Homo-oligomer: A and B are copies of this chain.
Amino acid sequence: MALLDDLKWRYATKAYDPTKKVSKENIDKIIEAARLAPTSSGLQPFRIVVVEDKELKEKMVPGSLNPECMRECSHVLVFAAWDLYTNERIDQVYDRITDERGLPRGRFSRYTDQIKEMYSKQSAEEHFVHTAHQSYIGLGIALAQAAELRIDATPAEGFDSKVIDEVLGLPEQGLRSVSLMYVGYSDKERDWLAPMKKVRVPKDEFVIEAA
């Protein structure tokens, strides 16, 4: 029951101790968990931008709903999704897959032709909804990894993505910010949520047994 214990332990930390840093080794593990996360067609259409620099975090404050978390956390992980699916991006992924498996390139071309055809009919905004979806799988798994390591974290949306994107130069990289994950160690004295009971929808409402 390790994961369930980790999930019970974690909560969205509301105040960080600015004197405590998360080790590089642990940041790497959190990112590695997101990197291993499954995604649609294995395309992994998102990246994680790691922000540790104080000045850079300060530049992101105007775009953030949680200025204290932004300033006082150890690291900010910015989940940024592809702005588009393109044939080149799809081919790059599948060339790597075949190369690493020792298969001829094009081995999965019937499948990749299908997904290229499907995405070619969709708008850029539809692409981004879908790439963002995939990034949330990674976010969930990254939060679980932080919890396993007993590192505090806060998933955050509702920020001004234009500010974040510009500060980090994401458009030039074909990326758009989707969510933030503040990472660090809670300052329990200022963290109002720390002592509060975790509340979830009851099981019998959450689960629907189809019949």
Contacts and interface: CB of A to CB of B under 8 A. Distances in A.
Contact of A157 (B32, B40, B199): B40
Contact of A140 (B10, B118, B136, B205): B136
A190 interface: no
Interface in A133-149: 133-134, 136-141, 143-145, 148
A108 to B, nearest CB: 11
A132 interface: yes
Q: Count the copies.
A: 2
A35 B197 contact: no
Interface string A184-211: 0000000000001111110101111111
A198 B38 CA distance: 10
A44 interface: yes
Given A132-B133, A201-B93, A210 B31 contact: no
Contact of A210 (B56, B143, B209): B56
24 contacts: A2-B148, A3-B33, A3-B145, A4-B33, A7-B33, A7-B37, A7-B141, A35-B200, A36-B200, A37-B140, A49-B209, A51-B210, A53-B211, A56-B210, A56-B211, A101-B197, A129-B129, A132-B133, A134-B136, A136-B140, A137-B140, A137-B143, A140-B140, A173-B208
Interface of A: 1-4, 6-8, 10, 12, 29, 31-38, 40, 42, 44, 47-53, 56, 78, 80, 93, 96-97, 100-101, 118, 129, 132-134, 136-141, 143-145, 148, 155, 157-158, 168, 173, 196-201, 203, 205-211
